[in-house]
Chain A
Amino acid sequence: MDARRVTESTPMKSRTTVERKSERELVVTRTFNAPARIVFEAWTKPDLLKRWWAPKSFGISFISCEADVRAGGTYRFVFGHPASEQPMEFFGRYIEVTPHSRLVWTNDEGGEGGAVTTVTFEERGTETLVVMHDLYPSKEALDGAIGSGSTSGFSESFEQLDELLLTPDASVGRS
């Protein structure tokens, strides 16, 4: 909760919200100042997707971005990050593509623990509310995604500790 307070001090008011709605669900919301057909277009045309899905401020860049956006079509996004030698790959299949209102896709890079993502586009006056809903197959799968995240998850901490323990002259930084 404290973390949220800190990051809201950015000059532009932060309108993106993320909430763990239940043991298996994560929900992201954001409102855009445009009609649904325009926002939808930006989510479904690969050359447009490519321009925003890998934000520069996160140091991520696209190596390749393929998306066949129709029910049954597949996508494959490959990103590079300076801190990682291996490119990061994300892939899956579109289950539903309903123009201007709804997109559903699978996230298959993590095997069976992958979430199903549903994005809805709801026009409200001149704005569009986008709700992105990640449904994981189980509580363990979502906990696992959180634990293995690039932030200091347990597995990562364990690895670091194991490394420390294996180093004969491990100094624990008493200075």
Chain B
Amino acid sequence: MVQYNQTRFDASFAALSDATRRGVLEQLGRADASITDLAEKFHMTLTGMKKHVGVLEQAGLVTTEKVGRVRTCKLGLRRLEEEAAWIERYRQLWDARFGELDTVVEELKRKEKVDGRKKSN
């Protein structure tokens, strides 16, 4: 397990140590893109960009899919995992808030009951 994580960490580390590859990830965070689009955007040859995307793919940061003659790149599963983790944390924050809101609501209900009784007396 430790060994596996280490290998994966090394792969991510290598993948992210390059400014172009980080730029590619940011770009894919905004929208999926073909290798040709990415090569143009980063003023690079198609072969050069293929190499970068290959490194990101190996690290699990990007997935690619070939449809016809175009290879489309998108963020890999790990980005999706991150989104799920963020949403879960956000849910926990609201769940904690609502837990305290329950207390406030119960208190208001009790108060309304007492006030109601006073009025009818």
Contact = CB atoms under 8 A, between A and B. Distances in A.
Interface string A74-104: 0000000000000000000000000000000
A56 B30 contact: no
Give the interface size class of chain B: 35 or more
A30 interface: yes
A42 B104 contact: yes
A33 interface: yes
Interface string A84-126: 0000000000000000000000000000000000000000000
B17 A16 contact: no
Nearest to B16: A161
Contacts of A1: 84
Contacts of B13: 161, 164, 172
Interface string A17-46: 111100000101010111000110110000
Contacts of A16: 91, 94-95, 98
A55 B93 contact: yes
B40 interface: no
B29 A48 contact: no
Contacts of A38: 105, 108-109, 112
